[in-house]
Amino acid sequence: SAVISQKPSRDICQRGTSLTIQCQVDSQVTMMFWYRQQPGQSLTLIATANQGSEATYESGFVIDKFPISRPNLTFSTLTVSNMSPEDSSIYLCSVDRTSTDTQYFGPGTRLTVL
């Protein structure tokens, strides 16, 4: 399985600010995914990031609120913009090794917005 790291591991932010979360993979992958897990809830897909093209967002998520970059095959960032307390969640990135059709997840970023 791929080794996936995320930075920061956790953060406490003020309302109205933005936070950029980084996801780094130790090997080249085609697809990278960003999920949100609100407190006590399941995971919801925010968007899919394919290198060289615009990210594909799921219903309920928009680029202005969650801009994503995918500059190369091993790295992606997710920005949570103009944060409110409702954005307090764990944000996880995952990668899809197409040869196995299995998504492996990073350790997550635990975000608290005050």
Binding site for other proteins (CB under 8 A): 1, 30-31, 33, 41-45, 48, 50, 56, 90, 92, 94, 96, 98, 100-108, 110
Query: Measured between alpha carbons, how far is 82 from 87 in angstroms, rounded to an integer?
Result: 9
First to last CA, the chain: 36
Least distance (Å) between residue 16 CB and other proteins? 26
The DSSP-derived string for 2-18 is --EEEE-SEEEE-TT--
Asked if residues 78 and 70 have their Cβ atoms less than 8 Å apart, the reply is no
| Shortest Å, Cβ 48 to other proteins | 5
Q: How far is the CB of 84 from other proteins (least distance, A)?
A: 22
